[in-house]
Structure 1
């Protein structure tokens, strides 16, 4: 289980870095900025699909939905921005 959590962390960290580079790209589309703002709002909002007061389940929805939303945004990046951010993330 620890190996899976480590792998999840590495993937999330890489996706978060790529999203950061995409946001800073001069040709970043406005929908990317709005989508990232929505993810941040959901993450820090006290209103969740499953309340955080419930042990394990309250945090599990954040641990599942936020990485999926980030990955969803990254898959919709224009090819030139995706290629540019992937190169920056690899270095």
Structure 2
């Protein structure tokens, strides 16, 4: 169980990082900004598909919906942004 959570967190962290770089790209489409704002609004909103008061299921919907939404946005990036986002950053 713990290994799955660590794997999930590492995948999500990488997706969030790629989404952040895509948002900062000069050619970032407006739908990407709107989609990201809606994801953030969903995470911060007290209204959920399944209430958080339900013991396990309430949190589980956030753990499934948010990563899927981020992946969905990343898969629809224009090719020129997608290649730049996937390229490793030099520091």
Q: How many residues align?
A: 91
How do 1:6-85 and structure 2 match up within 5 A?
6-85=6-85
- SS of 2:86's equivalent in the other structure is helix
User: Given the superposition, is the C-alpha separation of residues 90 and 7 from structure 1 closer, same or farther in structure 2, using an over 3 Å criterion?
Assistant: farther
Which has the larger share of helix?
Answer: 1
Structure 1 moving runs of 4+ over 6 Å: none
RMSD: 1.4
User: Could you list the runs of 5+ residues in structure 2 that have no partner in the other structure?
Assistant: none
* Larger relative contact order (CA 8 Å, sep ≥ 6): 1
Structure-2 separation of matches of 1:81 and 1:4 = 30
Counterparts of 1:53 and 1:44, CA distance in 2: 15
Could you tell me which runs of 5 or more consecutive residues in structure 1 were left unpaired when the two chains were aligned: none
Moved more, 66-75 or 46-55: 46-55
Q: Per the alignment, in what secondary structure is the counterpart of residue 87 of structure 2?
A: helix
Per-residue deviation, residues 53-78 of structure 1 (Å, max 9, x unmatched): 11111110000000000000000000
1:4-32 Cα offsets, whole Å, 9 max, x none, are: 11111000000000000000000000000
